Amino acid sequence: MADIMELSAQYRIAGTACKEKLRRAQRMLAICESFEEEMELRREITMLTAMSRDCTATANYLRTYAERRERLERLRRNETGM
């Protein structure tokens, strides 16, 4: 179960890194000077938004899965008297 929680933490770290890059790209968009640069930044913002959302959602899913599985295992142990 610890490996699933570790994986969840790694996804959360990746999501946070994407959010930081997203904020940087948004700041750059505000000062860009060419149409090509603006379009590239908008594409990057779109991709980073999706990646950030997906990494965070996966981290949450894995954590919830691990917590539910651990709770179920405790209940089973209690029922069997172990």
pLDDT band at 61 (very low <50, low <70, confident <90, very high): very high
- pTM summary value: 0.83
> For 25-41, what is the mean pLDDT?
96
> For 71-78, what is the mean pLDDT?
91
State the pLDDT at residue 82: 63
What is the H or E stretch that residue 8 is in? Answer: helix 2-31
State yes or no: pLDDT of 50 exceeds 90.
Answer: yes
State yes or no: pLDDT of 1 exceeds 80.
Answer: no
Calculate the average pLDDT of the chain.
Answer: 94
Q: How far apart are CA 75 and CA 7, in angstroms?
A: 24
Nearest C-alpha neighbor of 15 from the set 41, 43, 49: 49
What token pair was written down for 42? Answer: 């908008």
